[in-house]
Amino acid sequence: MPGNVVRFIAGSTLVLTAACGGTTAAESGKPVVDAAFFPLQWLSEQVGGADVTVEGLTKPGVEPHDLELTPQQVAGVAKASLIVYVKGVQPAVDEAVAQHAAERGFDAATAVPTLEAVHSEEEEEEHGHEGEEIAYDPHLWLDPSRMATIATALGGRLAEADPAHGAAYKERAKQTAAALTTLDAEFAKGLATCANRTIVTAHTAFGYLADRYKLEQVGIGGIDPDAEPSPARLAEAARIAKEKKVTTIFTEELVSPKVAEVLASEVGAKTAVLNPLESPPQGGDYISGMTANLSELRTALGCQ
How many residues touch Zn ion (CB under 5 A)?
Answer: 1
- Min dist. Cβ of residue 173 to Zn ion (A): 25
Site string for Zn ion, 120-159 (x = CB under 5 A): ----------------------------------------
3-class secondary structure, 70: coil
Binding mask 196-235 for Zn ion (x = CB under 5 A): ---------x------------------------------
Q: How far is the CB of 47 from Zn ion (least distance, A)?
A: 23
Number of other residues whose CB lies within 10 A of the CB of residue 277: 23
Q: Distance between alpha carbon 262 and the CA centroid of its chain, in Å?
A: 28
CB of 120 to Zn ion, least distance (A): 13
- Give CA–CA dist 198/131, Å, rounded: 32
Minimum gap (Å) between residue 65 Cβ and Zn ion: 6
> CA-to-CA distance for 269 and 288, rounded, in angstroms?
26
Q: Nearer to Zn ion by C-beta: 205 or 269?
A: 205
Give the nearest residue (CB) to Zn ion.
205
Contact call for residue 97 and Zn ion (CB under 5 A): no
State in angstroms the smallest separation of the CB of 170 from Zn ion.
30
SS3 226: coil
19, 39, 68, 173 from 280: Cα distances, Å: 35, 8, 18, 20
Neighbours of 283 (CB within 10 A): 6
The site for Zn ion (CB under 5 A) is made up of 205
